[in-house]
Amino acid sequence: MSRLFDPFTPISFGDLFTLMWVASLVILFGAVVVYNAAQRRYARYPAILALHEWIFWAILVPWLLVPLLVVIHAPLALLLLIVVPGMGVAAYAAFVRFPPIIEASNVEIRRRRYVPPPRRELRERSKPTPAGRRRRHR
């Protein structure tokens, strides 16, 4: 238990120190790339874009703080206190909050795609002939 409150230095946490800050930079880069690709790909689907927003910010903020906390030798407990809730929010968004919303929007998209628009009940006005009189079209 005392290891959690020791300063996070390369001496006290040998392999984990380098792994933590390098992994945070890789995760940040990957999150930005995936977020930008999703913005272009799912521009017409607001429910999926909202999911990507939630996951992006839940990953970006904690993992952006990790290199800073590693450099200032913050305790491991503080790192875990920031990263674990961020990953929890991302998991909540991906597995609890957005699946019903995305399913509802998929149903709406399918309904709009396969149901023909309603027929117009009003008859069009007859069009004039070149001679000027109106002819009834059948």
Residues of the chain with pLDDT under 50: none
CB burial of residue 110 (10 Å; 0-12, 13-18, 19+): exposed
Could you tell me if 56 and 31 are in contact, meaning their C-beta atoms sit under 8 angstroms apart? yes
Cα radius of gyration (the chain): 28
What pLDDT, in 10s, does the model give residues 22-52?
999 999 999 999 999 999 999 999 999 999 9
Indicate the pTM of the whole model.
Answer: 0.74
Token readout for 62 is 């904690």
